[in-house]
A and B are shown apart, each in its own frame.
Chain A
Amino acid sequence: MNGLTSGFGAWNPIAWALLFVGILVVSFIVRSRGNKSYKRGSGQTKVFLSGNEEPADADALHVRGDHLYWGMVDGLSAYYRRVKAWHTGIFSDYVAWFVGVLAVVFVILVWVG
């Protein structure tokens, strides 16, 4: 099989396709050996939460990545409240901020410099 050899290795579509099919077959074999005896619709298919009942509001248990920074965000909450209000998501607002800050910098440079 002819393939393209580059500085990063060999690229042969057929070889990679065969490898992909091989991985799929192995995955299917592993999956087919799983336990099929669980009862659908019973507690065996429910989420395990250390024995606790799953709350109706599943988001209450969702631990997001930014929860790691909870202490910092909570400590600076007064600052964040103000800054978040400025983040409107509207491009023209951001351009206005850019022009405004640029004007202030220009004025400082002209007067002070």
Chain B
Amino acid sequence: MSAVQTGEIITFFILAPLAVIGALGMVLARNAVHSALWLILTMLSLGVFYIVQAGPFIGMVQIIVYTGAIMMLFLFVLMLVGRDASDSVIETLRGQKVVGTLLGVGLAGLMATGIYQATRDYTVVGLEAANKDGNVQGLAKLIFTNYVFAFEVTSALLITAAVGAMILAHQEKSGVKAVGQVAKMRERFLPGNYPGPKPGPGVFATSNSVATPAKLPDGNPSQRSISPILPTRELTAAEKADKPTLTGGA
């Protein structure tokens, strides 16, 4: 069944432009987060291509691992750096951009014509033979027999990745002693501490922010009601004003 189905053609002509637009958008977008989102478009389109071309497993891996996990990591890294951090536009080497673009386009052209020339006369056989026991089963047979060594060695890569992340991103705590439960409890009931729960934050009818402080009976905001890591919010006059309690039909 190497003939191309109509559905496949339609899918291709819808998704191929999208994939290219996504790739262009990724390169041209000014904002790094936008670039990442464009890349997701391209990767999703590629994932669908794989599925359409009789490779459902690789298609799903593309979507789960690349668009899911790897893109998440991309976004994390962008957030680590700060999403407003932008590249310096000053070229350290003069004309680097122009030369780089020309060489890149040249290489792409060379590769594309080369591959086109080389594959023009090929007869497409499809994946029927490879997929005869099922796509995933066929892959499993290869992974767990002939390529078993490469498969096991992949775990070395995973260990290296985890160790590397620890080395580069983890700081060990220094000098902070763990406080036990008993000590914490004693501290809580020391004179001068109020042992009960803290009041919840602000007035949810007028604001949906947990940074809005609750009001004490005398109308003053209670600083105890908001988490110390949140910036306090300036209340507007309307919010400061005493709210009438709704009674009956008033």
Whether chain B is bound by chain A comes out as: no
Interfacial residues, chain B to chain A (CB-CB below 8 A)? none
